[in-house]
Structures are given as structure tokens and as C-alpha cells.
Chain A
Amino acid sequence: MDIKNEAIRPDHRIILEWIKPGATVLDLGCGSGDLLYLLIKEKEARGHGIDISNEEIYKCVAKGLNVLHGDIENGLADYKDQSFDYVILNQSMQQILHVDRVLQDALRVGKKVVVGFPNFTYYRSRLQILFRGKTPVNASLPYQWYETPNLHFLSILDFIDYCRTKNVAIEEKSFLGTAQRLQFFPNLFAQTGIFLISKAK
């Protein structure tokens, strides 16, 4: 598989820019391993993925990745402090039951943490609630209420508040609209927020 010939997902492209060459990474909820594969190929990163699905594990192994089958909630406890340069939670944080505990543990295990999540207050979601009176279903929240794996619904502002409250430093942030990056009013126009955070000194 040659990455160069394939379209790199916009969120993966952002994360790729942040990760320093040769870094060690732990990708929590790595799915089929596309991001991890990209980081190894492009940044000579080393590391592991963790995922709960058998099918995704098989795909990761086929890509030659190191991957551990299990759930994220219990996946971090075994690692020593600062075992990785980066712990990545891309589109997986909102599906974890105990988010605060996992985030704090990720900040312990990783020197830096990448978090990417769907922005619940994207304007289309707001309009769907306001005018249709229904739980939003759109590109960033593609599931019906009865089949969504998402346990938490948060906005970009919510996450920024969380970081302030918990004394977490935001080192980088990037916002995605339908495909392009956004500068203005991300809480309204972004479908996805991606943050690079660390423990505040």
C-alpha cells in the first residue's frame, strides 16, 4: 500500500503535521490503522495501536502494525509515565465511558496528547435541533440515536473549558469544516476539532 497514491484524510493530515519525526506514539482506538501507518511511513514514528474490534485488529496486523486488542478504558494503566511522545485519541474520546480518567491517564503516559472529536454545536446540528426538533444526524455525527457509538456530545468550547478547568495546556488546535480548515467561529462552523494538549507546567 502506497500512502502517496491515496487521499489522506484531512484530520490525519493535521495530526501528521504535529507529530515530530521519530516519535513514539500510542493510538487509542486506532481502527484499521491508517493514521498509525501514515505516521510510521511519513514520520518514522514507532508505536502501538489499541482497538476493540477484531476486524480492525486483523486489518492493522495486515499492515504490519503493532496493535493490541482491547478497550481503551483499561489500556493505559499498564504503561509507565511518559512512555510515549504522543498518545492519540482521534475520534475515539467521545466513545469512552470515563473520559476524564482516560484523558488524565493519557496525559500521564504521553508527553503530549492529540484529541480529535466531532463538534456537537456545528451550525447544522444546531439547526436540526432548533427547527426539526430532532437529534442531529450529519457528516460529523452520522449515526441515528439508537445506534450511535458516541457516549458524549461536546462542543469545541466545552473542550477548551475542560482544559482550563483541569489545568491542561493547549499547544495546538485546528478545526475542520466539511473538508477545509477553519479559522473563524469554529464552535459554529467546525465539524471537527483537533487539539494537541499537554499537562500545564
Chain B
Amino acid sequence: MTTKPVIVQTQYFTFDELRLENGEKLGPVTIAFETYGQLDARKANAVLILHALTGDAHAAFHHEGEKAPGWWDSMIGEGKAFDTNKYFVICSNVLGGCKGSTGPSSINPKTGKPYALDFPLITINDMVHCQKKLIDHLGIEQLLTVVGGSMGGQQALSWLVNYPKSIRSAIPIATTARHSPQQIAFNEAGRLAIMADPLWNSGHYYEGKPPDKGLAVARMVGHITYMSDVSMAEKFGRQKKWPSMGEKFTADFEVEGYLRYRGDNFVKRFDANSYLYITKAMDHFDGFAGKSVQDAFGHVVAKVLVIAFKSDWLYPAYQSKEIVKACKIAGLETSYCEVDSTYGHDAFLLEIEEETHLIQHFLKKILHDCEVSNGHKK
């Protein structure tokens, strides 16, 4: 079955100023976003998708002339988990990003040049404050759900704590309330790879060549942590590109070639400084807002669906269970599933059938409860 691809365009929303968590002011701020489906008359069917480290606002459908659809197209669309016949789906690029939202590669109005390292340190909460402004701008008082994997899950937790009354539910996937030293360590290895590239030039590379080599290595480190031992063995084995040892230190094994290829592709679409800023935001994030687990979710009324994956060693299930524990203590209506998967952390982008089942039914219940409480259906 081939259907004509649905074309979507990225939109932009700009506001004057954002007071950041660290006290600094940033402005003007532009947020790139896309929407799929229709907002209903009561504006009660909106779903906010939150992307991971290197994602963007283009979550679904096709851009004009593009072959590949958005990054979570398998989940968003007619009849899919986020059914665009039922829901109004929004996805925005995070603050600090490089795909249309204000970030270190944006022009600093004070200098007329890219911010580079003059860009202030941002946090996951700052990203979420921008999303709240966007939602206000769209005239939506309450979101049906906020959902995302990995860093997207961190944002979902931030929504729970910062805007408990603005969401009916949250779906944090393959995520954590607080990065472990291991997670910080991998991010730091990536950052140092970028900063060790002479072309990085303390962040001032926008007029010359960017630090592609460093950024590619950072992506390589990331990619290794997104897969699992099993998924790598299944995908590459010890398959070699040529029978002998080959030249000195070439990519002899399939896995080496793959990582190089992915790294080289990544640098075409991502900004090295954004990588630095966003990974720092992830490392510093504290989903319990510095409070005890007991107090963190005290004001939350939303329902929560937490999803983890068995082979995910970067965001292991115990971290999701910590979130579930906080929900239990706060007395929230919570569901938790540890999906059987061998894909590692990447599973949240690949285990579509299981995720669809869980999310579809969870959302159906949220929408139903919403209609009942509004007296529209019994």
C-alpha cells in the first residue's frame, strides 16, 4: 500500500525574552515547531512530543521534496499511536538546538554574529518554559499528554514538576530523573572530542570550517551507547569489509564503517556547540527539582505512563523505576512497563508495536476521562 506522503512545514514562534533558570535573560527567542492533525473545538486533544538530544521539530510526515519522513513518523499519523484523526500533535525544537529554534548557532542581536559561546547555559526546564509559551501561543490551556524518550522523557518530567496543572498525563520513555555518573561520563567524552578538535576554536567556527571530526567522534560515542551488545552482534557480527587486515587502521569491520558513516552524516545536520549545550543541560537535569522523591511530585495530578526497555544500558530500567517510585509515593495513577527488547536505548525509536499498544490505550483512557469530566460523554 502506498499513500501519498503528507507534506508538512516547520513553523516558527518568536517571543521577546526568556528569563533563564540561571537568572540570565535571553531574547528574542524563536521556537521551531510542527503540528499534525486538527485541534478540536475545546482545544482538549493536544499532544506535545518532546524530542531527544539530536532530534528536531520534524517528528512526522514529509517535508516538500524529502524522501525520509520525520523522526517519529512510525508513531504519529492516521491510525498510529498518536492518531492524527483524533489528536492534535505538536513537536518543537528545543531551546539550544540547531534546527530552527534559538541556539548557539543563532545570530546574537547584540553583535550581529552567531552567539557561539556567548550563548548562556540553558537547562531542560528552560526548554520546557519555551514549550509552555508555545502552547499558550497556540491557545491550549491543558495538554492531553507530554511524551518523549531519553531527553524527551526528561522534559516530560520537567512538565510534571513545573506545570502540573497544564497536563492531563505524561509519558516519560527510556529516561531518568537524574543522570548517573556513567551517563555524564559518556556525554563528557563526546564534549571533549568536540573541544579537542582544533577547528572548534573555543566555539568560534561559524565563519570557517566546523569541528566535524570532533562532532563525528562524539556521535560515535553516543551511537555505541544507544545500541546493545546483542543488537550490535545481530547487525554487524564480526563481519569484515575485506578478508585480510587491510591497510593500517582503516575501518576493517562493518561496525567501524557504520560508526564512521553515521558520524560523517551527523555532522551535516548538527551543530557542535548545540551538542555541548544540550548534553550539559541533560547532565544537570534533576527531575525531582532538588527535592526528596517524596516531595517532588506533591502537586502533580496527571496520570503517568513510564516505559523502559530491557536491554537499555544507557538509561537502565532502574532509573525508570525511580520515577515510578516517586509516582507511587505521590499517589499518582501510574502505569509502568519494561518492554522486552534487544535494541538497547534505541528501542524507544524502534519498538513501535509495543509502544503503540501501550500509548494508544493509555491515551484513549485519558481522552475518555477528559470527556467524562467535561460532561461530554458518559
Contacts and interface: CB of A to CB of B under 8 A. Distances in A.
A79 B355 CA distance: 27
A70 interface: yes
Contacts of B331: 83
Interface string A28-68: 00000000000000000010100000100110111111111
Contact of A61 (B328, B340, B362): B362
Contacts of A9: none
A62 B358 CA distance: 7
Interface band, chain B: 20 to 34
Contact of A67 (B335, B339, B340): B335
User: Could you tell me the dominant secondary structure of chain B's interface residues?
Assistant: helix
A68 B362 contact: no
A78 interface: yes
Nearest to A50: B336
B102 to A, nearest CB: 38
Contacts of A62: 357, 361
A68 B335 contact: yes
B364 A64 contact: yes
Interface string B361-372: 110110010000
A69 B358 contact: no
A69 B336 contact: yes
A180 to B, nearest CB: 36
Given A62-B361, A79-B328, A80-B329, A57 B337 contact: yes
Contact of A64 (B325, B328, B336, B361): B361
Contact of A66 (B333, B338, B358, B364): B333
Contacts of A63: 361
B321 interface: yes
Contact of A78 (B329, B337, B365): B329
A60 B337 CA distance: 11
A68 B336 contact: yes
A61 B361 contact: yes
A58 B358 contact: yes
Interface in B339-373: 339-340, 354, 357-358, 361-362, 364-365, 368
Contacts of A83: 331
B334 interface: yes
A48 B334 contact: yes
Nearest to A58: B357
B324 interface: yes
A54 B339 contact: yes
B303 to A, nearest CB: 8
Contacts of B335: 57, 60-61, 65-68
A70 B337 CA distance: 8
A66 to B, nearest CB: 5
B334 A68 contact: yes
Contacts of A48: 333-334
A74 B320 CA distance: 15
B336 A78 contact: no
Nearest to A74: B321
A78 B325 contact: yes
Contacts of A69: 336-338
A78 B293 CA distance: 11
Interface string A106-140: 00000000000000000000000000000000000
**Nearest 9 interchain pairs by C-beta:** A64-B365, A78-B328, A68-B336, A78-B325, A69-B337, A61-B361, A66-B333, A57-B337, A62-B361
13 contacts: A48-B334, A54-B340, A57-B335, A61-B361, A61-B362, A64-B364, A64-B365, A68-B328, A68-B335, A68-B336, A69-B337, A70-B321, A80-B329
